[in-house]
Structure 1
Amino acid sequence: MDDAAMTIAELNGMEEEAFFNKFGEIYGDFDWVADAALDGRPYKSFDELATLMRETVDSASERDRLALLAEWPELSIDGKNLSGLALDEWKEIGMDRLDSGEAELFEGLNEAYRGMLGIPFVKCLIGETKVSVLRSFGERLLNSREKEIQTAFMEIHHTARQRILRIAE
């Protein structure tokens, strides 16, 4: 992400290609979210953009929502399934510098979580640490699948909002 802050006027005046380059991966590789955001302009604030994107996901069909969740990148130990914003966030908490014990622990927790709940572990990494993420794993493994789907979408929406606010900074 570049360091130059963006104004709301710049957001509203962006050409389609520039808009997708900047906001296309806010919700991963799901163009339908960015399409709705592009069509929702002009915005009064970046918060309004984040709200529209959230509402787009929340009002999507269950099939589309579950597809988004299933494709959300798992917290990998090697970063291979990550790119762009997700990779930057992963590196910020030091996942690229795990020792062998930490890597084994994260790998085991990912396997346990997916095995028990059938979905990837989703956590907003912005402002977190490896320790806080590990704590979340332990707490959330006790939840039902339904509760974890709700929690995963809260985390996805939190990630998206934080990504948008970083662009506006």
Structure 2
Amino acid sequence: MTLPLALATLSQLDRTGFDAAVGAVFEHSPWVMARVWERRPFADRAALRAAMQATLASAGRDEVLALILAHPELASKAALRGELTEDSAREQAGAGLSACSPEELAEIRRLNDAYREKFGWPFIVAVRGLTRQDIIAAMRQRLPRSADEEFAEAQAQILRIADLRLDALLA
């Protein structure tokens, strides 16, 4: 399949082709785009995004929690070992997370630990366009929030990540 794809082409793909083309835009969760496929055709990019939003909105809390838990922690040991998906590794490197100073790395890990302890899932933010300092500031800002606020924010950030990944795939 030739990338980037035209949206019209994406709308016409059978389920197997659709899954192969865009199934990975939600981290380790191909079920999301498999359900989005059922909402075809997509008149435009906004319709595709609306289908993604509706799919997440209709998913059960346990499914959404599994989607959240499928995301890696930022600047984690898994990242240092090269165990992230290609998309996650590229996004984290683009935000400079692979070049943290020892102090920044310690602060991000401390905040990751505090966040996971409080909420039970990893801190998620669409890192594209952010600096390490922006990410640390966001972690500090979001840590005092309630679990319901952060559950909703994690979903919004996941949708933003998926949007950015789709932009790279679509013409």
Which position in structure 1 is the counterpart of 2:128?
A: 126
Q: Secondary structure at the match of 1:149?
A: helix
Which position in structure 1 is the counterpart of 2:7?
A: 8
Which position in structure 1 is the counterpart of 2:61?
A: 62
Q: Aligned Cα RMSD in Å?
A: 1.9
Which position in structure 2 is the counterpart of 1:94?
A: 96
Give % identity. 25
Instruction: Verify the 8 A CA contact 2:100 2:132 in the aligned structure 1.
Output: no
Instruction: Verify the 8 A CA contact 1:50 1:160 in the aligned structure 2.
Output: no
Instruction: Verify the 8 A CA contact 1:33 1:56 in the aligned structure 2.
Output: yes
CA distance in 2, matches of 1:130, 1:23: 28
Instruction: Return the offset for 1:81.
Output: 4.7
Deviations 1:26-55 (A, max 9, x none): 111222211112222221112211221221
- Counterpart residue type for residue 20 of structure 1: D
CA distance in 2, matches of 1:81, 1:75: 12
Instruction: Pick the aligned partner of 2:143 from 117, 124, 141.
Output: 141
Instruction: Verify the 8 A CA contact 1:43 1:49 in the aligned structure 2.
Output: yes
CA distance in 2, matches of 1:69, 1:96: 22
CA distance in 2, matches of 1:17, 1:99: 43
Deviations 1:101-143 (A, max 9, x none): 2211111110111112222101011221111111101101111
Structure 2 unaligned segments of length 5 or more: list them. none
Which position in structure 2 is the counterpart of 1:42?
A: 41
- Counterpart residue type for residue 124 of structure 2: V
Instruction: Verify the 8 A CA contact 2:75 2:98 in the aligned structure 1.
Output: no
- Counterpart residue type for residue 56 of structure 1: T
Which position in structure 2 is the counterpart of 1:103?
A: 105
| 2:28 aligned with 1:26 | no
- Counterpart residue type for residue 54 of structure 1: Q
CA distance in 2, matches of 1:77, 1:64: 24
Instruction: Return the offset for 1:15.
Output: 4.7
Q: TM-score, normalised by structure 2?
A: 0.87
Instruction: Verify the 8 A CA contact 2:73 2:124 in the aligned structure 1.
Output: yes
CA distance in 2, matches of 1:40, 1:77: 36
- Counterpart residue type for residue 54 of structure 2: E
Question: How many pairs does the alignment contain?
Answer: 167
Q: Secondary structure at the match of 2:108?
A: helix
Q: Secondary structure at the match of 1:40?
A: coil
Bigger mean CA offset, 35-44 vs 100-109? 35-44
- Counterpart residue type for residue 25 of structure 2: I
